[in-house]
Amino acid sequence: MSDNKPVIRMDAEPPAGLEGEGFFATQLSSVVGLARKHSLWPLPFATSCCGIEYMAFLNPTYDGSRFGMERNSFSPRHADMLMVCGTISKKLGPVLQQVYTQMAEPRWVVAVGACASSGGIFDTYSVLQGIDKIIPVDVYVPGCPPRPEQIIEGVMQVQALAQAESVRRRDMPEYQNLLESYGIK
C-alpha cells in the first residue's frame, strides 16, 4: 500500500500570510479582496448587439459562473459590477447614472463594446459618445461587437481590480473628488 495523500485542488491562491497546523493569519484586506474577486454580481445594462455577446458569455460554452458570477442581478442594490453593453442615447444617460448611483460600494463599471466606450459608429447628436462622460469606467472592452473571450478578459481585469483594491480606497478624498467631477454624491 502506498501512502498517497489525496490531492486538494484550490481554484484560488491563498493570500500571503502565516500558516501552521490548524490556523492561517493574513491581512484583512487580502481576505476581503479574495472574496470580492470571486463573488462579482453583474448588472447587465444591455441595449443592443453587445448584449447578445454578453449573453453568449454566460452560456455553458464560456461559463461566466466560473468567475463567481453565479447570478445576474437585475437590481442595482444587489449588484457590484455594472456591465454597460451597447449604444447609450443621451436620453438614456440619466437613467444609467441613476442605476450607477443606486449600486452599493464597492462598484465597478465595464464598458462593453465600441458604442459604450466611445459612441461607436453612431457619431450623432442623440448618442452619448462614451459612458465615461456620465459615470466613471473601470474597464473598457473593445470590439464591435466584442467576442465573449474579450468580455471574459474584461471580467478578469475587474477581478484583478477587486482583489488589489484597498478596503478603505472608496473612503479616500481622491475617490470622492472623482465622483463629484461626475456630479455624483
Residue numbering of the annotated binding site for [4Fe-4S] cluster: 49-50, 115, 144
Residue with cell 484586506: 29
Which residue numbers belong to the known binding site? 49-50, 115, 144
Phi and psi at 124, nearest 5°, equal -125, 170
20 — phi, psi (to 5°)?
A: -160, -165
Residue pointed to by grid coordinates 462598484? 107
Look-up of cell digits 471574459: 152
Cis peptide before 145 (omega within 30 of 0): yes
* Amino acid at residue number 150: Q
Strand-pair partners of 139: 110
- Within 10 A of 28 (CB to CB), how many other CB atoms are there? 8
- Cα–Cα distance for residue pair 96/51, rounded to 1 Å: 15
